[in-house]
Amino acid sequence: NAYAADYEGITVEVIDPLHVRLVRETPDVTYLRRLAETYIISDEQFAAGGNQAIEESPIGTGAFKFVEWTKGDRIALAANENYWDEGKPHLAELIFRPIPESSTRLAAIQTGEVDIVNRLSADEAQSLLSAENVEVVRYPADRVYYIAFNNLSTGIGLPTEDARVRQAMNYAVNRQAIVDGLFNGFARLSTGFVTPSNLGYDEALEPFPYDPDKAKELLAEAGYADGFEIGMACPIGAYTNFEEVCQAIAADLSNVGITITGGEVELMESGVYWDKEAAKELPPLFGDSWSASVGEALPRLQGALGGPEQSYCAWYDEEIGSMLDQIAQEFDSDARAELYKQLQVYMVDNPPFIYLYEPNSFEATGARVEGYVPNSSELYLAKDIWLTE
């Protein structure tokens, strides 16, 4: 479980029926915020029906309560009349529907069949700008896309263990061409895992420029003037245009002599892919993205670089691990921001990823939607939404 580490190294003291005290073995400045990412479940329900009961008919404490889940069609929620925040939610019901077909999704928001659509591509958002009774929302997402290197399993002993090779692969990728060609320019080139909305973001850092000659120079310096072969995988259907992104990266790498095993990127259904990622069974290069919902990059950094016990960590560097521990234990915001900046510089010189881009998120709402406020975490509070007639 990717969240299990949040509950290790703590003791719980019961104060009274409504209060507990959590005592950690080590300090962690973002711990309380991270706890908000997991959910309280009914121990009685779990004891009676296990995980299946929780998945098929969850009982929680939020503004809405579960009504039904029709697999592949919808999840229906109803207002929780016992919710603690008096007067909320405003909506009597909330229905989530997966609509994978682009034209169907666009038609649904234009006809009023649905009230909100999210994760629109730039092209989809562009097509809705002239639609009546539809508002297109664009905002920078706190989500980093990257190609991960591996030194914990499948990448052991490969050329990518040399920092010069990893730098070369960053220079080899034409990120701007990818952003312009696949996202209409609506993305920021990434400089690392700390984004502009995060504490400690270093504005002085520049993304790796596209410089294939520099890439070849570094490869030769590392002893790989003739290049090498390496495996690479990416998920299907998880992120906008990501298959095309991965294929473009493979082509750029081939231009400096780095070829992909089998001649092409291995594409996998996202559920299978993430299971393999957690089991550390993906090839030595693999693509993914990571968001941050607590306002700081620390959980994202810990999850991706915190060591073998982290489900989605494929690269471990003792210096990075030490710096993450320092950040987690520093409660002074200014001092913590400075530590983040030191880490970012180190991660440029010793990149654990090919840094790609941070996209704009596009969503659309119908004319009757009020109170909908998205943010960079890609989360929103449904309890605050209401509809006008």
Per-residue pLDDT of the chain (389 residues; tens, 9 = 90+): 556 767 788 999 999 999 999 999 888 888 888 787 778 889 999 999 999 999 889 998 899 999 999 988 999 999 999 999 999 999 999 999 999 899 999 999 999 999 999 989 888 999 999 999 999 999 888 899 999 999 999 999 999 999 999 999 999 999 999 999 999 999 999 999 999 989 999 999 999 999 999 999 999 999 999 999 999 999 998 888 999 999 999 999 999 999 999 999 999 999 999 999 999 999 999 999 998 777 789 989 999 999 998 889 999 999 999 999 999 999 999 999 999 999 999 999 999 999 999 999 899 999 999 999 988 777 889 999 999 97
CB 63 within 8 A of CB 82: no
What are the start and end residues of each CATH 3.10.105.10 domain in the chain?
143-359
Tokens of 248: 């473009």
Which pLDDT score, from 0 to 100, does residue 37 have? 74
At residue 365, the pLDDT reads: 97
Amino acid at 203: E
Do you find a cis peptide bond into 89, omega within 30 degrees of 0?
A: yes
pLDDT the model gives residue 294: 76
> 321 with 304: CB under 8 angstroms?
no
Single-letter residue type at 298: L
Euclidean distance between CA atoms 362 and 248, whole angstroms: 23
pLDDT of 2: 57
In whole angstroms, what is the distance from residue 328 CA to residue 275 CA?
A: 28
Give ranges for CATH 3.40.190.10 in the chain.
43-138+362-387
Q: Measure the CA–CA gap between 59 and 378, rounded to whole angstroms.
A: 24
CATH fold, domain 43-138+362-387, is D-Maltodextrin-Binding Protein; domain 2 (3.40.190)
Note the pLDDT of residue 60: 86
Pairwise CA distance, residues 372 & 389, whole Å: 16
Residue 285 tokens, joined: 């290069």
CATH of domain 143-359: 3.10.105.10
Give the predicted TM-score (pTM) of the model: 0.81
**Tokens read off for 172:** 């080899």
DSSP state of 190: P
